[in-house]
Amino acid sequence: MQFPCTAARNAVTLALSEDAAADDVTTRWSVGPRQWATAVIVTRQPGVAAGVPLAAEVYARIGGETQIDESVPDGTRLEAGDVLARISGPAHQLITGERTVLNFLQRLCGIATLTDRYVAGVRDLPVRVLDTRKTAPGLRLLDKYAVSAGGGHNHRLDLGAMVLLKENHIAAAGGVTAALDNVRQNMASEGKTMAVEVEVATIPQAREALLAEPSWIMLDNMPVPQLAEAVDLRRELAADSGVRLEASGTITLDNLRAVAETGVDAISVGSLTHSAPAMDLSMLLSITRS
């Protein structure tokens, strides 16, 4: 996934507004307007870089007099003490933007780092690690970009990107087959074509879904033996259909490997974006002239 420039600009505008960056009284009253400084953004722990271009976006909005040297590209594995970016410019601008820059980078690097751990756990197996829509409101594209920087894959971007029939859709429609039939009829009536995924929680539901041959079947919160049974069932009922199986729900680093070894095509992990620990980053500043 490419860096989402428009989403970054929008997020930075909101972040600076809520921080009242234009009225930073502490910096305005304590730092001389002619002081010039350099700063480095460093990590205090190993991890994966993500969102480094956001530093330039923040400082462009604050005053535009700063110079940014992105020391590492997104996706780079970092060791404690590594520098992500070097910044020079008016000291008051560097200080005003510090927390906003670090807030973004700590979150995105944390997501990329956790994603990298999941991807590394199944790197030798033919399975993809997927993200979900469990992202911070307003940061969807940035969160998903960080997943891709960590080696994961982006799944459904939003409600209009693909059809995903979950338990409430299926209950309202009267069952898996009825829900799929409704979707296909209405999709055709609107002249659209897109991937269709259906969530199932039992083997009988998986059988029903396989016979209907959607693009994806989400195996929700199934224990490992049932996941393996669903994979075997696909081999029996729809071996050449192209239906892909996604394991989802309560996936952790502890059970990831066992889930992957069942033969599913993908594993979706909500915690990549809703529970990733922030990376410990700092901005270290030095005054170069007053």
Cα–Cα distance, 273 to 130 (Å, whole number):
11
pLDDT for 196: 98
Helices (H), 176-216: 176-189, 203-212
Contact residues for 209 (Cβ-Cβ < 8 A; gap 6+): 176, 180, 198, 200, 217
pLDDT (tens digit, 9 = 90+) per residue, 138-192? Answer: 999 999 999 999 999 999 999 999 999 999 999 999 999 999 999 999 999 999 9
Cα–Cα distance, 151 to 130 (Å, whole number):
10
Residue 269 has pLDDT above 80, yes or no: yes
pLDDT for 63: 87
pLDDT for 33: 87
3-state helix, strand, coil in the chain (%, to 5): 45, 20, 35
pLDDT (tens digit, 9 = 90+) per residue, 281-290? Answer: 999 999 987 6
Here the tokens at position 139 are: 């940061």
| Domains of the chain with bracketed CATH | 5-117+277-289 (3.90.1170.20), 120-274 (3.20.20.70)
For residue 163, CA distances in Å to 197, 247, 259 come to 6, 17, 24
% pLDDT > 90, the chain? 95
Q: pTM of the entire structure? A: 0.96
Q: Which residues participate in catalysis according to the annotation?
A: 99, 134, 166, 199, 220
pLDDT for 57: 97
pLDDT (tens digit, 9 = 90+) per residue, 213-253? Answer: 999 999 999 999 999 999 999 999 988 899 999 999 989 99
pLDDT for 289: 76
